[in-house]
């Protein structure tokens, strides 16, 4: 042999070493998954066993619990049927109304006007009215946010803010909502 090949492992020996390491890693991983993988027999996910367990739970329910569960299922079905019967345009108007209320702190009347405006959203009046009738919002809080904005950005007096809040050319809040805002300005 020449001096260059002495002390250096051959290609075949290097491959065997790598293969040995891979086999050992595979054994270790397999052993760990067997130890920590859990027992499939204990936690069976077979559909027939699940349905048997559900039936057993139903059999253990009292008549009152069964009646309550049936009533809840009936109410959910009615709510879904009602939701499905609402025209898409009405749902869209409600979603847009919620956006105006949240982002721009608008009043009910201001939102309605924006929804039906030919320069705004152009919803039909019935869709806009549905939105106004079904939106759940704290209008007094919106009036307060608007009042705070007027005071901070335009340095307006409380009387001027009140007038702007109730103005038909302004924010269109109710007098009660506007008074709440004025009373709670800091």
CATH for 125: 1.10.10.10
Model pTM score: 0.59
Q: Does residue 16 form part of some domain?
A: no
Across 117-124, average pLDDT: 96
Are residues 152 and 122 located together in one domain of the fold?
A: no
Q: Does residue 71 form part of some domain?
A: no
Last residue of a domain, one of 119, 137, 155: 137
Among 180, 112, 96, residue whose Cα is nearest residue 146: 180
> In this model, does residue 32 exceed pLDDT 70?
no
Q: Does residue 131 form part of some domain?
A: yes
> For residue 75, what pLDDT is reported?
82
CA dist., res. 129 & res. 112, Å (int): 7
Q: Does residue 147 form part of some domain?
A: yes
> For residue 60, what pLDDT is reported?
72
Q: Does residue 182 form part of some domain?
A: yes
Q: Does residue 21 form part of some domain?
A: no
Distances (CA, A) of 37 to 31, 41, 42, 95: 10, 12, 12, 47
Exposure of 50 in the CB half-sphere (CA atoms within 13 A): 5
Are residues 97 and 133 located together in one domain of the fold?
A: yes
The encoded tokens of residue 113 equal 């006007």
> In this model, does residue 177 exceed pLDDT 90?
yes
Are residues 172 and 125 located together in one domain of the fold?
A: no
- Reported as a pLDDT band with limits 50, 70 and 90, residue 66 is confident
Across 109-114, average pLDDT: 98
**Phi-psi region at 46: left, alpha or beta (left = phi > 0; alpha = psi -120 to 50):** beta
> For residue 14, what pLDDT is reported?
67
> For residue 81, what pLDDT is reported?
78
Are residues 86 and 130 located together in one domain of the fold?
A: yes
Domain that holds residue 166: 138-186
Q: Does residue 105 form part of some domain?
A: yes
CA dist., res. 145 & res. 105, Å (int): 7
Q: Does residue 37 form part of some domain?
A: no
Share of the chain above pLDDT 70, in %: 76
Are residues 164 and 149 located together in one domain of the fold?
A: yes
HEC profile of 43-55: CCCCHHHHHHHHH
Last residue of a domain, one of 98, 121, 137: 137
Q: What number of other Cβ atoms are within 10 A of residue 54's Cβ?
A: 10
CA dist., res. 139 & res. 102, Å (int): 10
Q: Are 141 and 101 in contact (CB under 8 A)?
A: no
Are residues 142 and 181 located together in one domain of the fold?
A: yes
- Reported as a pLDDT band with limits 50, 70 and 90, residue 78 is confident
Among 106, 134, 136, residue whose Cα is nearest residue 121: 106
Are residues 98 and 116 located together in one domain of the fold?
A: yes
**51 vs 118: which has the higher pLDDT:** 118
Look at residue 122 and give its three-state secondary structure.
coil
- Reported as a pLDDT band with limits 50, 70 and 90, residue 151 is very high
> For residue 102, what pLDDT is reported?
97
Are residues 131 and 161 located together in one domain of the fold?
A: no
Are residues 119 and 84 located together in one domain of the fold?
A: yes
**3 vs 121: which has the higher pLDDT:** 121
Are residues 144 and 132 located together in one domain of the fold?
A: no
- Reported as a pLDDT band with limits 50, 70 and 90, residue 13 is low
> For residue 107, what pLDDT is reported?
98
| Domains identified in the chain, total number | 2
């Amino acid at each position: 042999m020449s001096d260059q090949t002495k002390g250096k492992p051959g290609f075949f020996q290097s491959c065997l070493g790598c293969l040995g390491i891979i086999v050992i890693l595979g054994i270790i991983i397999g052993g760990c998954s067997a130890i920590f993988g859990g027992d499939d027999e204990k936690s069976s996910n077979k559909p027939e066993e699940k349905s048997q367990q559900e039936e057993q739970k139903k059999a253990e329910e009292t008549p009152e619990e069964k009646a309550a569960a049936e009533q809840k299922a009936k109410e959910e079905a009615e709510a879904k049927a009602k939701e499905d019967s609402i025209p898409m345009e009405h749902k869209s108007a409600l979603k847009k109304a919620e956006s105006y209320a949240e982002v721009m702190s608008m009043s009910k009347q201001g939102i309605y006007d924006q929804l039906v405006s030919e320069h705004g959203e152009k919803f039909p009046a019935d869709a806009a009215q549905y939105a106004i009738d079904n939106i759940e919002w704290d209008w007094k809080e919106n009036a307060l946010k608007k009042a705070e904005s007027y005071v901070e950005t335009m340095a307006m007096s409380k009387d001027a803010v009140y007038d702007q809040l109730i103005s038909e050319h302004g924010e269109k809040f109710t007098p009660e909502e506007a008074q709440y805002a004025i009373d709670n300005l800091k």
